[in-house]
Structure 1
Amino acid sequence: MSTQNETGNAMAIQDSPDARRRNLLKMTGLSIATLSVASVAAAQPSARSTKQMTDKWDKTFAKSDKVDHKKVSFKNRYGITLAADLYQPKNASGRLAALVISGPFGAVKEQSSGLYAQTMAERGFITLAFDPSYTGESGGEPRNVASPDINTEDFSAAVDYIGLLPFVDRGRIGVIGICGWGGMALSAVAVDKRVRAVAVSTMYDMTRVMSKGYNDSVTPEQRAQTLEQLSRQRWQDVEKGGPSYGPVMNELKGGEPQFLVDYHDYYRTQRGFHRRAINSNGSWTQTTPLPFMNMPILTYIAEISPRPVLFIHGEKAHSRYFSETAYAAAAEPKELMIIPGASHTDLYDRVDVIPFDKLTSFFRAYLA
């Protein structure tokens, strides 16, 4: 993920490193930048559409010779065209089980979700990694905005698409959500009974972190202040005819908590940088937090049952509590797998850390 920690926001706090960390953990991720709106230079993302989809291999991971790959597109229930990468095991026959995959929050399909998709295709699944609405190569205006409703719908739209492919067994469809899109995946599966099993990796509940801050530490006064600023930002956006954007994400100035350093390590270095990713090369709109502030997406997580849910999280991840509390609220069958020594971003791309064997056995068992 990166919330507006993913929007580069520890930078707005100009005091000691310890105080900076305490303040950061008390504030909502994406709303931090709204406290210094006047000092923010608007980073205007360019408009994109699926007509601009590139056919060249521009992923942050190497292309596998064990799978076939192609770009596809489809519409969600709101009429937004989503761009995706479809991966198929080479020389496969018959109708296969399928997985739809997205995340992290602010990433693109050329990053972590594509790596998961290609790896699971090597293991015998048809997989689809997609860019959420308003991001990457997917459609939607304005750019770089998120919605707990529309982005939950994006998962079901991916299920719509993959379930109509002639080589997919539509009775054997699963979902994988990574980081902030893990919460969206759980929300989608709770209402979409076509999905047989769901796994989430290094999961964030974006509605919880934006409304309550890290470790639920935002005070009522801080929440009211954030909502006041977000509300007034709407007038500014209307007056100028378009949204304002925060600073470029994941830049470091020194003294940031380790998890922000980890985000920078992934998104802003050769390891995981991608020019279309908000977390690597852009920023969210200033008002993106608004719909997240009063819309908890995991209210009905127990209704995933009797379908199974697998939670995977790093032992040392700052975000581990999201999976632990979601696991407690979910109904059986459920499983929580804690990866020893792993940080939040280790589960983005560290193929020696991501438990692909567990994901494979989980989906083979429940999509049989």
Structure 2
Amino acid sequence: MTFEHTDTDRAARLDRRGLMKLTAGGVAIAAATSLGRNAEAQTQTPAAGWDKVFPRSEKVDHRKVTFKNRYGLMLSGDLYLPKTRGDGRLAAIAVGGPFGAVKEQSSGLYAQTMAERGFATLAFDGSFTGESSGEPRNIASPDINTEDFSAAVDFLGLQPMVDRERIGVIGICGWGGMALNAVAVDKRVKAVVASTMYDMTRVMAKGYNDSVPLEQRTKTLEQLSRQRWEDAAKGTPAYQPPYNDLKGGEAQFMVDYHDYYRTKRGYHPRAVNSGNSWTQTTPLSFMNMPILTYIKEIAPRPVLFVHGEKAHSRYFAETAYAAAAEPKELMIIPGASHVDLYDKTDVIPFDKLASFFDRHLVA
């Protein structure tokens, strides 16, 4: 189901003080919700016990796992299995996102909830973040993070309880775009869901609603290019300054991010968005490598877009939906914001997600 725009000039309603200013001091990271201070001291020690921001389900078995991606980076994940699963092999789902989050947050909630519905699921930390390996810390890449999804599919397909011919993917927020990119090239995946998605390459290259002119983009690239010399001379990267120490007057979506990442609702010390930050030069590859170029090649496998009616990011899903080939579906959740689809279990359409994968993850 879809809804018409309630305000065609949505960009004008976004407080420009809260929007990304594509300069060296704010290079697209505010748009990506990379919030916080220098990340060099971020811990990589696995936490003992239950370290998630959501309650543990008694219907699901859980264990921490590790696996390597194609670049040799060791990824850390949480494998969730339904306690009642019989003797047959299970359909499986790899879950990633949001951009700047960790598996103990939204992706873990999605994974555990889908395991309650009978799927083997894997929530994982992207390379260079959370408990996954990679130096320097807190750097992102449209290529490597796309590869991380395929590495998760590698892992799932090697598990004895999983039917490797019945694997799907869920990408949340900025990892929704990564999921679409991964599934376009990885023909093992049978179905994909992009929930409250961002196209990180688009927003970093062009700003919100494609509002950044070429002159400003060029200036940003000049500044970032010279930042590389400074980083090389010091032998360590510079990090972005804090973004969500709210001072008043921010756009509502920035307030929403703060409410999730910086309060006990969703705070996790390993998350980039929970008081840490990306490197200053993280946007370089994103600004140069559009990830949805081959979205049509997901077909004939199905794609489901889920987005909030009131989300500032809704246009990402709508334009990606328009560019995708059939079979495709766009589900707009009435009244929902972008962040509502991170953790509000009465808003996230888990029954729809389960029926979508039940229908399409068939041998």
The reply to whether TM is greater than 0.5 is yes
Amino acid at match of 1:54: A
1:64 aligned residue: 57
Q: Check conservation: 2:27, 2:283, Cα contact below 8 A.
A: no
Match of 1:239 in 2: 233
**5+ residue gaps, structure 1:** 1-17, 36-40
Q: Distance in 2 between matches of 1:165 and 1:350?
A: 30
Secondary structure (helix, strand or coil) at the match of 2:93 reads: strand
Partner of 1:330: 324
Is the 1:48–1:138 Cα contact (8 Å) retained in structure 2? no
TM-score by length of 2: 0.91
Structure 1 residue identity aligned to 2:256: D
**Residue matched to 2:294:** 300
Q: Calculate the aligned-residue CA RMSD, in Å.
A: 1.8
Q: Tell me, what secondary structure is at the counterpart of 2:143?
A: helix
Encode CA deviations 1:94-127: one digit per residue, 9 max, x unaligned.
2000000010000000000000000000000000
Amino acid corresponding to residue 121 of structure 1 in structure 2 = A
2:101 paired residue number: 107
Q: Which residue is 1:125 aligned to?
A: 119
- Could you list the runs of 5+ residues in structure 2 that have no partner in the other structure? 1-11, 29-35
Count of aligned pairs: 343
Q: Contact 2:18–2:250 (CA<8 Å) still a contact in 1? A: no
How much has 1:24 moved relative to structure 2? 5.1
Which residue is 2:350 aligned to?
356
Q: Contact between 1:86 and 1:126, CA under 8 Å: does it hold in 2?
A: yes
Matches within 5 A, 1:172-321: 172-321=166-315
C-alpha separation between the residues in 1 aligned to 2:292 and 2:353? 22
Give how far 1:20 is off: 9.2
Indicate how the Cα distance of structure 1 residues 26 and 68 shifts in structure 2: closer, same or farther if over 3 A, else same: closer
Contact 1:68 1:87 in 2 (8 A): yes
CA distance in 2, matches of 1:31, 1:331: 37
Residue identity opposite 1:140 in structure 2: G
Per-residue deviation, 1:313: 0.2
Residue 41 of structure 2 is matched in structure 1 by: 46
- Displacement, 1:23? 5.7
Match among 27, 37, 46 for residue 21 of structure 2: 27
SS at 2:65 equivalent: strand
> 3-state DSSP class of the match of 2:26?
helix
Aligned partner of 1:86 in structure 2 is 79
Q: 2:129 aligns with which of 118, 135, 146?
A: 135
The 2-side partners of 1:75 and 1:180 are apart by 22
Please say if residues 43 and 270 of structure 2, whose CA atoms lie closer than 8 Å, have aligned partners that are also in contact: no
Q: Residues 266 and 31 of structure 1: is their aligned pair in 2 closer, same or farther, counting only changes over 3 Å? A: farther
CA contact (8 A) 2:27 2:204 kept: no
Name the SS of the counterpart of 2:188 in structure 1: coil
Over 3 Å counting, the alpha-carbon distance change for 1:34 and 1:318 in structure 2 is: closer
Letter in 2 for 1:255: G
1:194-235 Cα shifts (integer Å, max 9, x gaps): 000000100000000000000000011110111011011111
Distance 2:42 2:232 in 1: 18
Q: Is the 8 A contact 1:27 1:217 kept in 2?
A: no
How far off its partner does 1:31 sit? 5.5
Q: Is the 8 A contact 2:201 2:287 kept in 1?
A: yes
The 5-angstrom pairing of residues 153-172 of structure 1 reads: 153-172=147-166
Q: 1:115 to 1:34 in 2, by over 3 A?
A: closer
1:56, distance to aligned residue in structure 2 (A): 1.3
Q: 1:247 to 1:135 in 2, by over 3 A?
A: same
Q: Is the 8 A contact 1:27 1:214 kept in 2?
A: no
Aligned partner of residue 338 in structure 1, secondary structure: strand
CA distance in 1, matches of 2:336, 2:13: 26
Looking at structure 2, the residues matched to 32 and 325 of structure 1 have their Cα atoms a distance apart, in angstroms, of 29
Deviation at residue 55 of structure 1 after TM alignment? 3.6
Q: Which moved more, 1:244-253 or 1:140-149?
A: 244-253
Greater fraction of residues in helix = 1
Q: In structure 2, do the counterparts of structure 1 residues 26 and 53 end up closer, same or farther at CA, with 3 Å as the change threshold?
A: closer
| Partner SS, residue 281 of structure 1 | coil
Separation in 1 of the partners of 2:151 and 2:188? Answer: 12
- How far residue 92 of structure 1 moved from its aligned partner, in angstroms, is 1.3
Report how far residue 241 of structure 1 moved. Answer: 1.1
Moved over 6 A (4+): none
Q: Percent identity?
A: 72
Distance 1:22 1:305, change over 3 A: same
In the alignment, is the contact (CA less than 8 A) between 1:67 and 1:87 conserved in 2?
Answer: yes
Alignment CA distance shift 1:220-1:64 (3 Å) = same
